Structure 1
Amino acid sequence: GLLHFATDGETFGHHRKKGAEILKETLEKLINRGVKLTNFASFMEEVSWVPPAQIRENTSWSCAHGVERWRADCGCFAGGKPGWNQKWRAPFREAMNWLKERLDRIFQEEGASLFKDPWAALLDYVEVMVRGPESLLPFLDRHSTRNLSTGERVKAAKLLEMARMGQYIFTSCGWFFADISGLEAVQNMTFAARAIELARDISGIYLEDGYLERLYKAKSNVPAERNGLEIYKRRVLPRRFTTKDITAHYLITSTLSGRFRETRLFRHRFRPVKVDRLEKGATCFCCGMVEVTNLAFQEKGSYLFSVLQYCPGDIHCTLSSRGKERWEETLEALKSAYHLGITHLVRELDRFFGPQFYGSESTIDVV
């Protein structure tokens, strides 16, 4: 006969201490007693039996109210404190729905000229997620309407990534728990921020204001957190990193370690083309050029850079993608300024790179 057991897989992951060990021991005992492990698909294939089944729409295992846990203050939640409510769920869902509709429109309109079938390409995009960025170009060749230019390939890849983030914003646990300030809801907002960033890069359409207008209506139970808009500004935006930000991290950490090597970091590949390192007293100055490839999009570029270390932990890092046609001349001017003194060098850095710079606090925490 067939004996069926159903339980939450997370029970054997992080919900119960030593859950995985107990499961392993139980399965070994069952197998030793002649029990064969199977699942419904394998069993039905063996006995050539396909029973009729009907899906009961809008039901879930963790909400007695159907699927209200993911859109309403239904009374189902985990965690929290007495007196809390989940009225934030409805406007949070509204904000995500509003954003998703506009992301889908951009994906369809911008992708129509690039993909044979944009939505079929999105379904198959999981191949790239599983096999890695090296599979992106062959994937695009299969799904594109023609032989795409380098710029069109980058755009196609960004469209797919934008659409993927548009799916991630509905990750179930974002509504599951007691408050919008929980890490699960914040993670969904982080996906939304990435989708918004890519949408603007692809189409020039700015969706953030409309999204935040709706997030504002999602009130937190925690007075200090206030609402979704404040949570987004305080806890999501600081986690948004551009290729330039990540490059600055690479340059600063390479200077501090004393080693500039070709490496992969945060879905980017860095290759130092030229690095000059000068030291005088307690100061160190590195300048040169680095090539950067965003592996997610196979988008390539390069930066002229300088990193000045006044003393341990005190960093002034600048970089620019402009002026590369005269990069050797620029580097010589920077090195000459360093020999004349820090004041001369900083003035020269401001003249070429502008007043904005990255400090030691600009490095990215690797969690």
Structure 2
Amino acid sequence: MSGYVCIHGHCYQPPRLDPWVEEFLAEPSAAPYLNWNERIAKECYSPLAWARRMEQGKVVEIINCYEWISFNFGPTLLTWMERHAPQTYARILQGDARSQARLGHGNALAQVYHHAIMPLSTDSDKDIEIAWAIQDFEARFQRRPEGMWLAETAVDTPTLEALARAGIGFTILAPHQAKAVATLDGKHVFGVDETTLDTSAPYRVNLPSGNSMVVFFYNGPLSRAVAFEQLLADGESFFRRIVSQAGAGLCSLATDGESYGHHFTFGEMALAYAIHRLRTDPKGYGLTNYAAWLENHPPSQSVILHEPSSWSCIHGVERWKSDCGCTDGGHPQWKQHWRQPLRRSLNYLRYYVEDHYRRKARPLFHDHAAALKDYGLVLAGKQDRASFLEEQCTPRGREQEELCLSLLTMQRWSLASFASCAWFFDDLGRIEPVIVLTCALRSLEVLLATGGRDVSPGFLEILEEAQSNDPSKGDGVAIWKNLVVPRRMDPLHLAGMLLVLGSKRLEWPGVEAFLVNRRDDQNGFTASLSVTWQRTGTRQKRSLGGTCGTGEQVFSIDDGQATYVVPRDMHAQVRGYLTWQRTSEFEAGERQRLVEMADQWSWLVQPFGEGQTSPLGHPGAIVPGVAWLWIRGDVVCSDAQKQWMRRFFAENMHAVAQVGSLLTSQVRTLLDKTPLPGTIILDMIERARAIGVEPYWWNVQNAIWTGRDRQEILVIAKAVGMVIEGES
């Protein structure tokens, strides 16, 4: 063999799961896809599972790259894939199984559960993140993980101790995280940096406990070329760059898995080509993984690390707690002073969550700390809720069981609020900080519901110190009130969804809701709502009253304590999801269907959301229908809706042609009427232009030319760009 190669892809997305219904709702910035998980799966994760290898412009082979590269997926991402991309999910599992059959060790690595920055986590939180990750991995891959990816490769000695306690054998780090190498006994030490470190060999880290951990360092220049230098633009160049680095030892590169297709379009094809060339090159290159290499090449040296350190912050782990200057978001002038109060506020909440759990859970569980670690078995689907409670809880009735599950739910979402992505980018008002604050809101809600103290005043006092760079979003409290709290799901929200869908039952992984005994009369309607929150088993019942309307108030729902107005109070995520559900079977080109749907659903058209540049795929299907109703004067649209439609038509020229065809056909029909409805025609043209619809007037101009002897038609001629000679 001329050399051995290991290509690693780290695949991760923020915890997009809604903390109440436990489903993945709409994210407008991911348009035209429903959410970012779906968008990136279609751009990257699925193409990697069916990567095309091309020769002379023809597909000659389809490669499952997961069979040939080392990889890790975040557990929360795999939860989505199992539900919503099952074929790709199956290919991922198949890739690991086939690599295990070929090499004796599978390609898949585990990843800390919530992608938390481990050096900033408490020791107990480290243990939980690792335990849940192992339990999830075992449930999916049917084997124990040998290695584990640390979020952002963030590492320190306590983190490695936690990995060792859990039986993990190795992890992967960046070369600049090595401070020195030494003999295995540590007697002879040699300083290194990323330019002098030999990344072709594994190293042992000797830990104070007497345990040790193996560390692989990826090839820095090669990995940077993939991630930042357009190396994936050409498969042959990619292959040649790899083999130029391959020799004695292991040549390994590690990047975000999203490099292959999401960051770089068709990057998976360059990878497929390189895989083929490495498999077939006559010089002989072995594609392997870290565990297989380690079996035959144990460390011959130890390493001393910079602590704490990570792969994407030259200041250690400051990127996730301070304004260190490391950012990625396209606004180099923006500051990140908000990072510190965001972390402090979540740490504040975490302290009270932990304290409440210890006091409340101690008498409920045989071992409350062990129960929390083992709860990952329930999240992974390895153990059902009933057997978990029977095994972990002291004898109690239904109320105590609900309390046990609620306390674990509180812990789960508190832990989820520390996902690293919240601090990675450049502003507090981005979707990632809003996601983790939503997790915190759910945790805070359960804390209160289980008898804990209301710590929201102190939490918000700290969060208020965080300031968005966008003046329109304000400080942390404004973002909490305007962007986070509206995401909360409660029985009235669920009733609103049931009424909109015209359904008696709503079932998601996290909730089941029934709307029964609905009675309508001239004053409105009454109904009974029953809700079961699946994770906790908690049940709620409401007697509802309300009214039906149109436009800005389709339904007004009241349970005697609060009023919920649809669509005014409906969050954009839910609104987008509902229209997705309603229009998912729509076939492009059905003009009448467009208008019929728009007649019922025009109220769902809303301005673009944060980061959105194009409409969501299926909901976007109703926009031409809404536009046509607006042009005809059948509906009233707000300025925000008209602006939304202008942006839609600017991005979707085929829709301009579609609506324009309806408009020219209607105008052509009206031109034959006597008397000529000139005001109606001019109003339609004006409304069309107000939303960016300017059709091709050829048929209309022909009709005007034919009827140019009619004086009243001349004003229409000017409106469609005609000047008839001899007429003023």
> TM-score category by the smaller chain?
0.7 to 0.9
Q: Which moved more, 1:193-202 or 1:134-143?
A: 134-143
Q: 1:140 aligns with which of 380, 385, 389?
A: 389
Residue matched to 2:556:
316
Counterpart CA distance in 1 for 2:338 and 2:463 is: 9
Which residues of structure 2 form unaligned runs of 5+? Answer: 4-249, 578-728
CA RMSD of aligned residues (A): 2.8
Cα deviation for residue 19 of structure 1 reads 2.8
**Equivalent pair of 1:276/1:286 in contact (CA under 8 Å):** yes
The structure with the largest alpha-carbon Rg is 2
Residue matched to 2:326:
76
**Equivalent pair of 2:313/2:326 in contact (CA under 8 Å):** yes
Counterpart CA distance in 1 for 2:520 and 2:270 is: 59
Count of residues paired in the alignment? 321
Residue matched to 2:431:
183
Deviations 1:259-312 (A, max 9, x none): 42x44136211345x535557xxx696544443221111223433344543568
Paired residue type of 2:387: P
- In structure 2, the residue corresponding to 1:41 is in which secondary structure? helix
- In structure 2, the residue corresponding to 1:181 is in which secondary structure? coil
Paired residue type of 1:136: R
**Equivalent pair of 1:277/1:284 in contact (CA under 8 Å):** no
Counterpart CA distance in 2 for 1:23 and 1:284 is: 65
Cα deviation for residue 120 of structure 1 reads 2.4
Whether 2:268 is the aligned partner of 1:20: answer yes
Paired residue type of 2:510: R
Matches within 5 A, 1:151-162: 151-162=399-410
Superposition misfits of 4+ residues, deviation over 6 angstroms:
none
- In structure 1, the residue corresponding to 2:404 is in which secondary structure? helix
Q: Which moved more, 1:196-205 or 1:290-299?
A: 290-299
Paired residue type of 2:565: G
Paired residue type of 1:117: D
Matches within 5 A, 1:329-348: none
Counterpart CA distance in 1 for 2:344 and 2:549 is: 50
Residues 246, 157 of structure 1: alpha-carbon distance in 2 compared, 3 angstrom cutoff: farther
Whether 2:430 is the aligned partner of 1:173: answer no
Matches within 5 A, 1:1-367: 1=3, 2-12=250-260, 14-33=262-281, 35-45=285-295, 47=296, 49=298, 52=302, 55-131=305-381, 135-144=384-393, 146-242=394-490, 244-254=491-501, 257=502, 259-260=503-504, 262-265=505-508, 267-271=510-514, 274-278=516-520, 287-306=526-545, 308-310=547-549, 314-319=554-559, 353=560, 356-361=562-567, 362-363=569-570, 364-367=574-577
Counterpart CA distance in 1 for 2:418 and 2:275 is: 35
Higher relative contact order (CA 8 A, sep 6+): 2
Residues 286, 265 of structure 1: alpha-carbon distance in 2 compared, 3 angstrom cutoff: farther
Counterpart CA distance in 2 for 1:74 and 1:186 is: 21
**Equivalent pair of 1:181/1:225 in contact (CA under 8 Å):** yes
Question: Percent same amino acid among aligned pairs?
Answer: 30
**TM-score, normalised to structure 2's length?**
0.41
Residues 178, 298 of structure 1: alpha-carbon distance in 2 compared, 3 angstrom cutoff: same
Paired residue type of 1:104: E
Residues 89, 27 of structure 1: alpha-carbon distance in 2 compared, 3 angstrom cutoff: same
Paired residue type of 2:536: F
Cα deviation for residue 239 of structure 1 reads 0.9
Which residues of structure 1 form unaligned runs of 5+? Answer: 320-352
Q: Which moved more, 1:189-198 or 1:11-20?
A: 11-20
Residues 311, 60 of structure 1: alpha-carbon distance in 2 compared, 3 angstrom cutoff: closer
Counterpart CA distance in 1 for 2:333 and 2:297 is: 54
Counterpart CA distance in 2 for 1:271 and 1:213 is: 38
Cα deviation for residue 4 of structure 1 reads 1.8
Residues 295, 216 of structure 1: alpha-carbon distance in 2 compared, 3 angstrom cutoff: same
Residues 35, 78 of structure 1: alpha-carbon distance in 2 compared, 3 angstrom cutoff: same
Counterpart CA distance in 1 for 2:271 and 2:329 is: 27
Cα deviation for residue 206 of structure 1 reads 0.5
**Equivalent pair of 2:546/2:557 in contact (CA under 8 Å):** yes
**Equivalent pair of 1:166/1:192 in contact (CA under 8 Å):** yes
Counterpart CA distance in 2 for 1:27 and 1:148 is: 57
Counterpart CA distance in 2 for 1:226 and 1:307 is: 35
Paired residue type of 1:101: Y
**Equivalent pair of 1:71/1:89 in contact (CA under 8 Å):** yes
Deviations 1:52-76 (A, max 9, x none): 5555431000011111111121111
Counterpart CA distance in 2 for 1:300 and 1:124 is: 25
Deviations 1:16-64 (A, max 9, x none): 223334334433443345654432223323x273555555431000011
Deviations 1:229-279 (A, max 9, x none): 11111111111122x13431244125xx3x42x44136211345x535557
